[in-house]
Amino acid sequence: MEAYVTSENLESRALSWLDRIAAFNTHKMELQINRSALLVVDMQRFFLDEKSPTFTCGGAAIVPNLKKLVSAFRDASRPVIYTKHVHHPKFIDAGIMKWWWEGACLECTPESEVIDEIAPLPDEKVVLKHRYSAFYNTDLEIILRCMKIEDLVVAGIMTNLCCESTARDAYFRDYRVFFLADCTGTITEDMHLASLLNLSFGFANICTTDSIINMLDKG
């Protein structure tokens, strides 16, 4: 399948997506820097190795933007939280997902690790999850509450599965969600755009990497 986006054309594609959802992307927000955190969703080798059957082309395209974003949050002394979608080797935690998907990312394998370009620092939180949403049966909510987070910036893969599910669950918990058009990715443009449209209508402010970095710089 041909990639719907690359790192070279990502900026122009993102502008076109934002234009297409503009009528619904009306809940503009300024980032509360001292109440903000970046959530990097599932940027694992399992999904980003071109030889993998689960390769996510949109994820590969966003790596340069995500590197900038992670650096900006670290420079601003704001939390960067990572998620990894993993399963036990005997699939005792897989449930319907084992039937739904042909492959699975197994815990404690090289494939389960976050890619080197944006790897977590030793003191950064990594949330292990077994379902799409990073909130479902994890400790993410208590971590955010203890850090007094109100604004959550969502980046990573896949736009229409784990990122969207997490953004919806964040909204249900009264977090203000900033969802990045040019720092989330999936496998087709239709899937990506549909998520941006749905989230802008009911759950999140859809914005760009540079807009978030500019807000951090102002702070």
Domain limits of the chain?
10-218
Which residue has tokens 């955010």? 144
Q: What is the model's pLDDT at position 53? A: 84
Q: What is the model's pLDDT at position 165? A: 98
User: Residue 158, preceding bond cis, omega within 30 degrees?
Assistant: yes
Sheet holding 151-157, edge to edge: 126-129, 80-85, 36-41, 151-157, 176-185, 205-207
Q: What is the model's pLDDT at position 197? A: 98
Token pair, residue 103, equals 């492959």
Token pair, residue 55, equals 């390769």
With a cut of 50, list the residues of the chain below it in pLDDT: none
Token pair, residue 132, equals 């799409």
Q: What is the model's pLDDT at position 52? A: 85
Any idea which architecture 10-218 has in CATH?
Answer: 3-Layer(aba) Sandwich (3.40)
| Per-residue model confidence as pLDDT tens digits over 105-133 | 999 999 999 999 999 999 999 999 999 99
Q: What is the model's pLDDT at position 102? A: 82
Closest listed residue to residue 145, CA positions, set 121, 174, 116: 174
